[in-house]
Amino acid sequence: MDPSATPRHRRGRRDWLVDSAMFTLAAAFAFFMSVDRLHNTPLPPAWLFPLDQFVGALGCAALWLRRRWPVGLAVTLVALSAVFEMVAGSMLAALFSVAVHRRPRTSGTVFGLSVLAGVVFTLLRPEPNEPPSVMFTLGLALQGAAAGWGLFVHHRRRLVLAQRDRVARMETEARLRAEQAQHQVREAIAREIHDVLGHRLSLLSVHAGALEFNPGADPADVARAARVIRESAHRALQDLREVIGVLRAPAGEPSAPTRPGLPTLADLGRLVAESGQAGMRVGLRDDLGSRESVPERTGRTAYRVVQEALTNARKHAPGAAVRVRVSGAPGEGLTVEVVNDAADAPADVPPDAGGGGGHGLAGLAERVALVGGRLEHGPLHGPLHGPLEGATDGGAGEGPGGWRVRAWLPWPA
């Protein structure tokens, strides 16, 4: 087995062809030089000619190791070429190998040594019929051609590898962008599902709790509560289908933003009315003027702020009075404020046992920040999470334990 055919240096079919061609050219170079010397007078001293042939043969055989030790083999052959002329073909092949497989700085150093070896050979064994300068120039041209060709192959391979790396990097970036887009879509779906289902399921919880804690209620009241539960469940499924349908629509589809399922500021009255039907004491104060210039995304975010605040109030302060105020003007921004009193649930409306510990406000703050707005929330008579510029504590019944959620959203003039 060829010792160079290790897993690290295993040759392919192309490598075998190239190595065989290198060996053949070097052997042919040594053979023709040997034949030429036999027909003419060998360079002095005459006894060095057989040793020169032997060293040339060893140099040709050593070329099979050029892939494993290119620099060491090249330096050895360069040193031998300072005395023996039959090794010149193997030395040129070694120069080419170094230029191909090593950095240009290394190949330049080896080439400089080969030039120095050429000078030494010209001085030690001059041609009797040729000027030393001519022989040196010829050798320098051959060495430069071998090294230059190797450098060309080296840089071409690096260029090909760079192009492959660039293509691979572009494919990786495209895949990462696709994954990021999918992640953003999933986040959007999860956020919309949380907003829609959180509101609907909290309504279901209120009516189901009323039935549970009033088993002896009037049959008409039971039927009315059951009808509200059925309608709320149906609306929850319908809203869920519409939300997923809108979010799955192509981004470039013109009708995608106007499809049903994503509510806007115009649906705020219906949201407050649904909460009132569920037994909440909700008041809406609308100080907005014309709404035509309100951006759709801003209006949808304002709706989600009120929806999340009402859901939290229903969960954590059952029975408390809630006041919703919407105000603003173009150029000043859109302000949404939801304030609820301390919990004072009636006897037939139990607190939602599973309503605590959510992350609704954190997600709502992220949603508001995405449109360039600000969200503040905190206890009614305590420090809020952020400054409440222009906020008031007005409103009857604002006792200790209440909670305020206030959002400012951009509304360009």
CB distance 299 to 268 below 8 Å: no
pLDDT mean over 155-181: 89
For the segment 253-305, what is each residue's pLDDT rounded down to a tens digit? Answer: 444 444 445 678 888 888 888 888 777 888 889 888 777 778 888 888 898 89
In the prediction, which pLDDT does 380 show? Answer: 77
Name residue 311's amino acid.
T
CB atoms within 10 A of CB 341: 23
The whole-chain average pLDDT of the chain stands at 77
For the segment 130-163, what is each residue's pLDDT rounded down to a tens digit? Answer: 788 888 888 889 899 989 999 999 999 999 999 9
In the prediction, which pLDDT does 18 show? Answer: 78
Angle at 114 between CA 112 and CA 118, to 5 degrees: 115
Percent of the chain with pLDDT over 70: 74
In the prediction, which pLDDT does 395 show? Answer: 35
Residues 18 and 142: their CA atoms lie apart, in Å, by 19
CB distance 269 to 231 below 8 Å: no
Q: How far apart are the first and last CA of the chain?
A: 83
In the prediction, which pLDDT does 245 show? Answer: 66
- Alpha-carbon Rg of the chain, whole angstroms? 43
In the prediction, which pLDDT does 394 show? Answer: 36
Give the predicted TM-score (pTM) of the model: 0.47
